[in-house]
A = this chain, B = another copy of it.
Amino acid sequence: MTVITAPFINQDRLSRTIAELATIGKLPNGGVCRIAYSPEVISARQLVQRWMQETGMTVRIDAAGNIIGTYAGQKTDAPALMTGSHIDTVPTGGRYDGALGVLAGIEVVRVLREHSIRLDHPVEVVVFTDEEGGMIGAKAISGTVFKEPEYYRRDDGTSIETCLQRVGGDWSKLATAKRNAADIAAFVELHVEQGGVLEHHGKQIGVVEGIVGQHRYIVTVIGRSNHAGTTPMSMRQDALVTASQIVLAVNHLAKSSSGSSVATVGALSVFPNAANIVPGQVELTIDMRDVDQEHLILLSEQLQQQLQAIAKSNRTEITITPILQTEAVLATPRIQTAIEQTCKEMGFSYCHLPSRASHDAQEMGLITDMGMIFVPSQAGISHAEDEYTSPEECAQGVNMLLQTLIRLDLMYPV
C-alpha cells in the first residue's frame, strides 16, 4: 500500500450517524432501549447494514447473527483487521455504549474510501450479537459459546433458536461462526470508558491494558431471627451484622489491594426484613474484578478466608456460591504500543487503564491480537440515559481508530 499522511474523519457526519441511530429505540431523556433481538435492534441492524453497503462494504450475517461488513484490502487472502462493537443496549441505555464502536468502523471505511485508500488487509466492521445479554455473537466467533441452548433462553421465555432466526442467524450452524488467528490479524475496539478515570485524570484517550477478570459470588448468611426487643445483645445471631462486616471486608480488600482491583457488594437482601426482628438471614452478591488474573485469584482466596473468620466470630453460618468466573484478557502489548504511539503522533493526552467492564473484545482476545481504545464518559455515567461523550471526544476516538488501523496494516505482514 501507499502510506497516506493523516486522513481525518468527518466529525459532523459521525455525529449525525450517532444521532440517527439513537432515534431507533429512543427514550424520553436522551437514552435508548434496544434490547437484543427486539424490533428496535432489528431496525437498527437494517440501518447499519444499509450504511455498510453504501460505504462499499460487502455485508454478511454469520450463524450467530453477527453483521460483518468487509472493505476489501489490496492483498487477496490477507487476514482481516477487524473492528466493531454492538448496537444492542441495556433497557435504559445510553447512545454511545457499543454504538460508537460500530459507527466508528463505518466512518473509518468511509474516510478510507473517500481518500481512495485500500489497506493491504481487508477491514472488517462487526456488529456483535447481544453484547449486553451474554455476548453470544463474540463467543460464537471465539468458539466459547455454551452448548446448551437453554442457557441463552430469554427472560420472556423465547428460545435462542427463535432469537437467532430473527436476526438472520441459525443456532444449528453456530459452529460455522467460529474464526481464528489465520483469518483475523488483529481486532481493535473503540468504546466509551463507562467509568470516570479519563475524565478524572483529564486524559483524552485511554489505552486499554486488558479486560478484567471477574469473580462473582452469592453469599448466604444464616443467623437466627429473633425479637428485636426481647433478645439481649449477647444472645443474638444477627445475620445483618455479619453481612455488614462482609460488605466492609470486601470494600477494604479491594481498597488496600496493590493492583487495580475493584470489589462490590451490589445486592443485599434481608430476611424477614422487619424493624422489630433481628435479621435471621441475609443474601448478598460479591463482584470482584482485576486485570491481573493471578491477583484476582489471590484476592478471592483472601476473601474466603476472611469470610469464614467473620462468620465464626458472630456465631452465624456463611455459604459462598461462585456464580461467574471470567478470566482476565490482556490487550496484546504491541497493539497497546501502537495505540500509544498513535496518541503521541496525534497529540492526544492518554493514560493506560484496565477495562473493568466486559466487552466483545475480551472474546476476540482469545483468538487473535486485541486492543481497545477508550474515550471519556462524562461523570463516568454509563448504562443510563444521561451517558455522554462529546462530539469532539467521539471524533478523537474515531481518528485514533483510523490511524491505529493504518499503523497495524503496516505492522502486520501479509
A residues with a Cβ closer than 8 A to B are 193-197, 200, 212, 214, 216, 226-235, 238, 240-241, 243-245, 247-248, 251, 254-255, 260-270, 273-279, 285, 287, 289, 355-358, 380-383
Residue contact B226 to A240, C-beta cutoff 8 Å: no
Q: Are A380 and B268 in contact (CB under 8 A)?
A: no
The chain B residue with its CB closest to the CB of A255 is B233
**Assembly CA distance A216 to B275 (angstroms):** 8
Q: A240-B265, A266-B274 are in contact. Are A233 and B214 (CB under 8 A)?
A: no
Q: Which residues of B contact A234 (CB under 8 A)?
A: 255
Q: Beyond A197-B235, A228-B262, A267-B273, list 18 extra A-B contacts (CB 8 Å).
A: A194-B227, A196-B231, A196-B232, A197-B232, A228-B264, A229-B356, A229-B357, A231-B356, A233-B255, A244-B245, A245-B248, A264-B278, A265-B279, A266-B276, A267-B275, A268-B273, A269-B273, A275-B287
Closest to A194 in B: B230
In-complex Cβ contact of A195 among B232, B267, B287, B356 (8 A) = B232
Q: Give the distance in Å from the alpha carbon of A267 to the alpha carbon of B358 in the complex.
A: 33
Q: Which of these, B216, B244, B261, contacts A247 with CB under 8 Å?
A: B244
Bound-state CA distance A381–B280 (Å) is 13
Distance in Å from the Cβ of A155 to the closest Cβ of chain B?
14
**SS of A interface (majority):** mixed
Report the nearest B residue to A265, measured CB to CB.
B240
Task: Flag if A229 contacts B358 (CB, 8 Å).
Answer: yes
Nearest CB to that of A356 among chain B residues?
B229
- The answer for the CA separation of A234 and B285 in the assembled complex, in Å, is 21
Which residue of B227, B275, B382 contacts A230 across the interface (Cβ within 8 Å)?
A: B382
Q: Write out the residue numbers on chain B whose beta carbons fall within 8 Å of the beta carbon of A255.
A: 233-234
Q: Is the CB of A268 within 8 A of B270?
A: yes
Q: With both chains docked as a complex, state the minimum distance between the C-beta of A321 and any C-beta of chain B, in angstroms.
A: 13
**Chain B residues closer than 8 Å to A244, beta-carbon distance:** 243-245, 247-248
Enumerate chain B residues within 8 angstroms of A247, measured Cβ to Cβ.
Answer: 240-241, 243-244
Smallest Cβ distance from A201 to chain B, in angstroms? 11
Residue of B194, B229, B238 touching A214 (CB-CB under 8 A): B229
The answer on a CB contact under 8 Å between A287 and B228 is yes
Closest chain-B Cβ to A373's Cβ sits at a distance in Å of 15
Q: B356, A262: Cβ atoms under 8 Å?
A: no
- A231 contact from B261, B262, B270, Cβ within 8 A: B262
23 residue pairs of the A-B complex, CB under 8 angstroms, read A194-B229, A194-B230, A196-B231, A196-B235, A197-B235, A214-B229, A226-B381, A227-B383, A228-B287, A229-B358, A230-B382, A231-B356, A233-B255, A234-B255, A240-B265, A241-B248, A241-B251, A244-B244, A244-B248, A264-B276, A266-B273, A266-B279, A268-B270
Contact of A227 among B251, B276, B380 (CB under 8 A): B380
Which of A193, A229, A265 counts the most B-chain CB atoms under 10 A from its CB? A229
Complex Cα spacing A263 to B231, Å: 10
Docked Cα-Cα span, A212 to B276, in Å, equals: 14
Residues of B within 8 A of A269 (CB): 270, 273
Report the separation of the CA atoms of residues A269 and B233 in the bound assembly, to the nearest whole angstrom.
23
